[in-house]
Chain A
Amino acid sequence: MTVAEQRLEQTLPPVRRQAVDWLPYVLLLPTVVFLAVFFVYPMLQAFVLSFRSPEGAITLRYFQAMLKDTYFAGALRNSFLLTAIIIPLQVVLALVIALLINTRFQGHPWFLFICAIPLGISDLGAGLIWSSFFTERGYLNLILQNLGLINEPITFLSFERPAWLYGAIVATEVWRATAIVMVILVAGLQLIPKDYFETADVFGASSWRKLRYVTLPLLRPALQTALIIRTILAFQLFATVIVMAGRIVPVLAGEAYFQYGLLRNVNIASAYAVLIMTLSMTITIFYLWLLRTKEEELGRG
């Protein structure tokens, strides 16, 4: 025991009791209440809507209806497939951009600004922009025609060309959302102390080895965050697909929209919502497990 603690033992019990400071809780209350009403409650409500029959019993009929729906299998497949294609492309591209910016070459703030422009563009806006490229009277056709390669415009975005539809969606999403991953990675790179790189230099490490053994491991937390956010957003992919491909390429969020907006099937739409939520949670946990960083590696403790 320290001298101070010993002295405490010898003295009288405290005269005054420190009251619990209620101020922080009061300040937090609005946020907690708001999120409880507009976040937690709808979450539970989604489960209720998708599992409860009009008579009040628990039923699986809505989920069964969802599973049997003609568009379901396609939606599930497309959502996964698109995510699986888009995200690796984006991560690599974002990493390249982030590393480029990290070299701090002349004019790199402008480069950062340019690459960050898509941050302000919604998936709807991006979809419209790129559809101007792929559409029948769009710029891809114009360029090909001006180059003398074609005479009549080609309908790229049609039922008969699923690969083109996919490609257009992938191109649009990669163009739009890479910025999201990039900013996270750039911020993460800036957090890595320069000493690590300089030490590697002193030991004569090549650029590739530096990347593999210094940068990437230290970037793991940022990568983890970026992947989680990006993947969850990917499963909510909606406007881009509809603009480009209508319902030819069904996706989960789009189906939720159509079930609700078009077909007025609240319960089935909720079933889709629950599915998306569950998938997102699972994937988050998967990422957290996959990219878990050991405390020692981070040099803490």
Chain B
Amino acid sequence: MTTPGRKALLTVLVVLISAWVLFPIILIALASFTTRTQLYAWPRSLVPSPFSAETMRFFVQAQDVLQSLLNSLLVAAMTIVLAVLIGAPAGYALSRFRFGGKEVFRLGILGTKMFPATILAVPLAVSFINWNLYDTLLGVALVHTTLALPFAVVITTSVFVGVPFELEEAAMTLGCSRAQAFRKVAMPIALPGLAAAAIFTFVLSWNEVFAATILTLRNRTLPALVMNAVGLAGAPIDYRFAGGFFMIIPALIIIFVIRRYLLTLWGVTVR
């Protein structure tokens, strides 16, 4: 039973934790809207006045930023296409069939999820040079797909489990072949779930730093670009602030949009 004391404790905790999460984001937003000169000024007030988009504009116009933004989007798009095209059939197979080796495959996928896969970018860098994939967006997309594939398989399995096989059977009695039944009945119903898998894959690819940094030289994604600028060249604070804010915007928007499915999505992917 919730006594007033416990309720107070609960409220305090909730407020504290929420503030702790939101505070840094608000700070970096504030920083991004401060003019460049003000950022370097000392002392200054916490709240910028005036609000200015100067810093952000500076970042976007900085060397290669726009291009790397585009690259990130391209890589994410390629990753989504690959991960869904490759993973969805496997998810369908796992949801519908009983066959020899099913458990082995399942465990394999689980093992892949729990593996430090980004580290594999190091040996892959060598292979990619031989395969002409080094410093290409496709190369990065392939590594991102490797990261996303286990999740795509798990998500699509659960999605297709939620589509009763009887629906496809009914379609077959009405004249469909197996493939047609899948296309006309299973796919449309599974689409929202597949969209969820796509969104998850996007966030994963957009945020990935290590592999993108190792595998690219000139065709950098946004994280790789910023990483390089910060890690090796020691970028100035206005660059860092705006860069940081910029990088988190898409993910923030996406998490907000899918907030209702958040739990099912993440809960499912890691079970």
Contact = CB atoms under 8 A, between A and B. Distances in A.
Give yes or no for direct A-B contact (beta carbon below 8 Å). Answer: yes
Given A115-B17, A270-B123, A35 B112 contact: yes
B10 A100 contact: yes
B251 interface: yes
Contact of B126 (A45, A118, A228, A229): A45
Interface stretch (A59-67, A80-88, A210-218, A254-262): A254-262
Contact of B210 (A34, A130, A226, A239): A239
B18 A132 contact: no
Interface in B254-270: 254-256, 259-260, 262-263, 266-268, 270
Contacts of B28: 128-129, 132
A123 B83 CA distance: 23
Nearest to A118: B21
Q: How large is the interface on A (under 10, 10 to 19, 20 to 34, 35 or more residues)?
A: 35 or more
B20 A175 contact: yes
A175 B19 CA distance: 11
B251 A276 contact: no
B73 interface: no
A292 interface: no
A23 B262 CA distance: 33
Interface in A79-130: 93, 96-97, 100, 103, 105, 109, 111-125, 127-130
A11 to B, nearest CB: 26
Contacts of B96: 24
B123 A280 contact: no
Given A132-B28, A225-B271, A239-B227, A97 B17 contact: yes
A243 B255 CA distance: 25
A266 interface: yes
Interface string A271-289: 0110011001000100000
Contacts of B45: 146
A137 B46 CA distance: 11
B8 interface: no
Contacts of A239: 209-210, 223, 227
A149 B71 CA distance: 45
A42 B248 contact: no
Given A132-B31, A133-B27, A34 B86 contact: yes
A15 interface: no
A270 B113 CA distance: 21
B249 to A, nearest CB: 10
Given A45-B123, A100-B17, A120-B250, 12 more contacts: A43-B123, A46-B123, A111-B14, A113-B262, A117-B21, A117-B25, A119-B255, A120-B255, A128-B230, A129-B25, A256-B119, A262-B232
A124 B247 contact: yes
B136 to A, nearest CB: 14
A71 to B, nearest CB: 15
Interface of A: 21, 23-25, 27-28, 30-32, 34-35, 38-39, 41-43, 45-46, 48-49, 93, 96-97, 100, 103, 105, 109, 111-125, 127-133, 135, 137-139, 142-143, 145-146, 153, 175, 183-184, 186-188, 190, 225-226, 228-229, 232-233, 235-236, 238-239, 242-243, 246, 253, 256-257, 260-262, 266, 269-270, 272-273, 276-277, 280, 284
Interface string B74-93: 00000000000111011011
Interface stretch (B61-69, B164-172, B183-191, B235-243): B235-243
13 contacts: A28-B89, A31-B89, A35-B146, A42-B120, A116-B259, A128-B244, A137-B237, A153-B42, A186-B267, A190-B263, A228-B114, A239-B210, A273-B120
B114 A284 contact: yes
B203 interface: yes
Contact of B115 (A30, A97, A122, A280): A280
Contacts of B248: 120-122, 125, 129
A28 B105 CA distance: 9
B207 A45 contact: no
B266 A30 contact: no
A116 B268 CA distance: 15
Contact of A31 (B14, B118, B149, B260): B149
Nearest to A271: B122
Interface string B40-67: 1011111000000000000000000000
A42 B123 CA distance: 6
B21 A175 contact: yes
